[in-house]
Amino acid sequence: MKEEVIREPLWKIRLRLWMRSFKQNWELFREKKLALFGLGVIIFFAIFGALYPMYPVLMKNIFWKDQEDMFSAMKPYDPIIGYDPFIPGHPSPPSPRHPLGTDPLGRDILSQLMYSTPREFTLGITAALITVVIGTMIGASSAYFGGVVDTFFMRLADIVMLFPTLALLMVLSAFIELDLLKLALILGFISGFGSITIVLKAQALTVKVRPFIEAAKSAGGSDMYIIFKHIIPNILPLSFLYMMFGVTSAIFSEAVLSFFGLVNVRMSWGIMIHTAESQGYLGGEFIGKFWWLWLPAGASITLLCSAFYFLGRGLEEIVNPRLRKR
């Protein structure tokens, strides 16, 4: 049979197969209301953050038409150095000029919120990505090789899990300037060697004993070939799921550190709350009176974190057929 059997290029077929499985999984995913909500929230925040550059322009055209010089001098919608001189006292409650009010230093809360959003995403996703890449590789190789490799990484995971990460970060912040990227790297590395390796190793062990691994071995596949071609693709869905949870924990950690003022970040949701706290607006009766200082940032942290978490839980049911209700 010399005629051509496959009439299309291979990549086209693969793309179609991929699209098909995506569609099938989407059907399953659509039934999970909470996960859809999570996805919706994530998309909302993504758009919200992307719109940031337009916000000052819009405000300028509405409220600052006659004071162009003043606008460019004071930059009233800059999240870090902005100041609105036309408001009698700061912090000011929400008003048409400042939809979410201003902070004690006279900066616009909404612009702070929008400015921080893409940075939260970057931090969360970078940290989670690093975690998952490390966790997957270590999980797969300690399952596959066993022995000394396994023992070493598992004990390391025990140590990392027992270690108070937050305390470590606090100490670290005294030595190095923790900017967003460094923080993402550190968070990613620490959790990458932690519990995720144990979970992914357990999964990889179930893959390792299946005969298709032996089939690949008897065909002459090298250790690396088997790990990358057979074991990792089969634990990748679980890794992806853990990435979602990783995003949640990274954003949380950043918020906590920022709140204590330990991170060298100019603006973030955590910093917003930190500002309110350090100026004394979170104490006693003030907490209710100056709600716009902490509520937008606090709500955003909660919402985005739970959104990734819900998304993860929804994916979990797709990844793990045993959880499917049928």
Partner 1 sequence: MGNEKTILKIEGLRKLFPAERRLFRKVRKFVHAVDGVSYEIREGESLALVGESGCGKTTTGKILVGLYEPTDGTVVMDGRDVTPFLFESYGKAENYIRRVYIDKFKNGGNGNHIGNFEEYKKIFKDKFNGNEREFVKYILKDRKKEMKNLRKKVQMIFQDPYESLNPRMTIFDTISEPLNIHNIGNLKEREEMVAELLDAVGLTPPETFMFRFPHELSGGQRQRVAIARALILKPRFIVADEPTSMLDVSIRTGIMKLMLKLADEYNMSYLYITHDLAVARYMSNRIAVMYLGKIVEMGDIEEVLKNPAHPYSKALLDAVPVPDPEVKREEPNISGSVAKPINPPARCRFYDRCPYRMERCKKDPHPQLREIAPEHHVACYLFEK
Cis peptide before 88 (omega within 30 of 0): no
Among 210, 289, 299, 320, binds partner 1 (CB under 8 A): 210
- Residue 100, judged by CB atoms within 10 A of its CB (0-12, 13-18, 19+), counts as buried
Q: What is the DSSP string of 250-317?
A: HHHHHHHHHHTT-S--SS-HHHHHHHHHHTT-SSTTHHHHTHHHHHHHHHHHHHHHHHHHHHHHHHHH
Footprint on residues 2-41 left by partner 1 (CB under 8 A): 2, 5-6, 10, 13, 17
H helix count then E strand count, the chain: 15, 0
Min. distance of Cβ 161 from partner 1 in angstroms? 23
Among 88, 162, 177, 218, binds partner 1 (CB under 8 A): 218
Site string for partner 1, 233-272 (x = CB under 8 A): xx--------------------------------------
Partners of 108 in the β-ladder? 102
Q: Is 148 in the site for partner 1 (CB under 8 A)?
A: no
Among 19, 51, 225, 302, binds partner 1 (CB under 8 A): 225
Closest to partner 1 by CB, 1 vs 167, is 1
Among 219, 283, 325, 326, binds partner 1 (CB under 8 A): 219
Among 96, 220, 283, 284, binds partner 1 (CB under 8 A): 220
- Cα–Cα distance for residue pair 127/190, rounded to 1 Å: 10
- Cα–Cα distance for residue pair 119/46, rounded to 1 Å: 11
Number of residues that bind partner 1 (CB under 8 A): 22
Q: Which residues bind partner 1 (CB under 8 A)?
A: 1-2, 5-6, 10, 13, 17, 210-212, 214-221, 225, 230, 233-234
